[in-house]
A and B are shown apart, each in its own frame.
Chain A
Amino acid sequence: MSGMAARKSERLLNLLIMLLVQRHYVSKERIRAILYPDSSHEGFEKMFERDKEELRSLGVPIEVGNMDPLFDDEPGYRIPPDRFALPDVNLEADEAAVIGLATRVWGHARLAEATTEAVRKLTALGVPLDVSALDIAEPRLSADEPSFDVFWEATQERCPVEFEYRRAGQATAATRHVQPWGVVRYSGRWYAVGLDTDRGEERVFRLSRVQGTARRAGKPGSYDVPPGTDVRATARRLAPAPVTERAVVLVRAGAGLALRRNADAVEAGVPGPDDRTGWDRVTVSRSGPGLADELLGYGADVVVEEPAELRARIIERLAAVEGAVDGAVSGEEQG
């Protein structure tokens, strides 16, 4: 770290201590005289503004008030110790243990980091840790959608956002304006819930359908979430229900073990599309998307019989491979 950064750290921390230990508001003049003695008036104003902002962004509560009730033109500053410090949490050893496990949940770098920082603060005062007795399966929360962070922060700060959104089954995206109320995971996907201000109605948006990144479109704190809003219930009411896909497929004898293992039904020794091996008829069900992907992965060991729509989708995707590869090759030649 450079000397400049170290000097700036000193100034920030000294400012924090100064405002924290005084019982009353500290005047700007006094702050300037002690911590910014060599700055011009303008330089001080700029630096002081920035320093306050940086401390606030760390979560340090800096209050502004009047020094003298008779003159409202001289603002003073203070950091109330009870709002500054983490309240007493008094974790038991087993509670500290589950809190320690929380650091491994997020598959999202920034939130994993924030969780780890929270745990360091919570255990800074010393808590015995005991992980031995826990009966727990560690889940992993991923959030790969590029706009997840924007919706998370907008929800936290109550800040309107705008974004391009492509609805299911539509080829083009449209610009939407939303006041986010929450972000909800439902059947394996993240959704934003909020008020669509163009339509004046509550809506859910699947984050994976947001094109590009969402943008802030307003000031923090510019709306309130309607009292009593249950974001989970709203998402379930408005998001499409998870579908169970069922398929009847022909599987080469000896192949498709994962399909057979949890099949609804297996009928051995049926006529198949070629005579190279024997074939079996297997019926499978899957909840959520991805059955076509899974079946395609087996290549020439699996053929879909039903439903016709799934069969058509697989044929279409396989036929498109040729074009995708050729198109890319000729594109590269031109370019």
Chain B
Amino acid sequence: MSARPPVQAAAKEQVARLLTLVPFLHARGQVRLEDAARALGVDPEQLVRDLKVLLMCGLPGGYPDDLIDVDLDALEGEEGDGVIRVSNADYLARPLRLSPTEATAIIVALRALRNGAGDDTREVVDRALSKLEAAAAEGSAAAQIDPGDEPPAPDLSRLEARLREAAEQRRQVHLSYYVPSRDEQSERTVDPRGVVTAHGFAYLDAWCHSAEAPRLFRLDRIHEAEVLDRPIETPPEAPRDLGDGLFSRSADTTTVTLHLGPAARWVVEYYPVEEVRPQDDGSLEVDLLVADERWLQRLLLRLAPHARVVSPQEFTESFLTAARATLSLYS
């Protein structure tokens, strides 16, 4: 975003929120403050501040009847029931049309979804797309942005459906799972909690009876999954929300600082990094939490020679040793 003074950006965003809030309320009659805040992705206190702005707006006559009416007592008063009531705003009853960027973003996203849909669902996506394309017309560049037609790994949707079902039915699953950091195939029994998506990958969140701890299993690394007839042994739990950071911090992680040349910059998009410090020459210095040194070695080798360890020093030595040992096999 450009360096716009915060006052202006804040006012513009507030107007945008109000233009969606009024139709939302108008269509539903009375809505509880918390429910409206959740549906619109706004903090409840901000929503009250937005409503106070609305109270000062209305038809250009200057009479009290011209203003939009908001029952603030219901929201702030001691006796308030927490329900939003807005009236006298019929001219804002319809939402603002989609901006060109919004129209393009949602249409391109739907086209990408279409690639991963089964036949029945594809028909639904096509219906939704044709309605959106008709509604979006003006200024959208959707026809010029093409997400390609590569389907996401097709067999994972079936696996995902089976694992979700097992979690719902609270049945144990036997997994044959590939652990890349150890280059190992492992067999384990888990209590599935659900399937979650983060950083472009789907994960099974489950209690692992081998590790005796909750673990995430990337679906594309599950070699075989057999849903067992046995019920889960641990208390059922909802899958973790991975929205804010992929892996919760465990006690035995080390913060490692890496220097990434331009060819290795993609790392920050694929792994949860703690901090990124861009350097003048286009390279990056990043801090990341490493739980398993073998994982780090493998990553450094993959990136060779575009990444090096800034600290701690001992990882530089083990990386050099690994690179030399590999190189010696070629002589």
Binding site for B on A (CB under 8 A): 1-2, 4-6, 8-10, 12-14, 16-18, 20-21, 34-35, 50, 54-55, 57-60, 81, 83-87, 89-92, 94-99, 101-107, 111-112, 114-122, 124-126, 133-142, 144, 152-153, 155-156, 181-188, 225, 231-232, 235, 255-258, 261, 273-274, 293-294, 296-301, 303, 311, 314-315, 317-325, 328
Contact = CB atoms under 8 A, between A and B. Distances in A.
B49 interface: yes
Contacts of A10: 53, 56-57
B293 to A, nearest CB: 13
B15 interface: yes
A21 B299 CA distance: 61
Interface residues on B, range: 35 or more
A317 B304 contact: yes
Contacts of B97: 59, 83-87, 121
A8 to B, nearest CB: 4
Contacts of B19: 58
A5 B10 contact: yes
A180 to B, nearest CB: 8
Contact of B120 (A102, A135, A315): A135
Contacts of A298: 183, 298, 301
B9 to A, nearest CB: 9
Contacts of B106: 99, 102, 114-115, 118-119, 122
Nearest to B91: A21
Contacts of A103: 109
A141 B160 CA distance: 19
A274 B146 contact: no
Interface string B40-73: 1100001001001110111110100000000000
Q: Is the interface of B mostly helix, strand, loop or mixed?
A: helix
Nearest to B61: A34
A327 to B, nearest CB: 9
Given A13-B15, A135-B120, A144 B269 contact: yes
25 contacts: A1-B14, A5-B14, A10-B57, A13-B53, A14-B58, A55-B15, A89-B132, A98-B117, A102-B113, A105-B109, A106-B109, A107-B199, A114-B101, A116-B41, A126-B28, A133-B120, A138-B113, A155-B145, A182-B144, A185-B146, A235-B146, A256-B183, A300-B322, A317-B305, A318-B326
A315 B16 CA distance: 57
Contact of A188 (B113, B150, B199, B305): B150
A261 B116 contact: no
A299 B91 contact: no
Contacts of B259: 328
A133 B151 CA distance: 20
Contacts of B112: 105, 139, 141
Contact of A320 (B92, B101, B305): B305
A58 B147 contact: no
B110 A273 contact: no
Contacts of A184: 145-146, 148
Given A13-B54, A35-B60, A114-B105, 6 more contacts: A89-B135, A122-B95, A122-B106, A139-B116, A185-B150, A187-B150
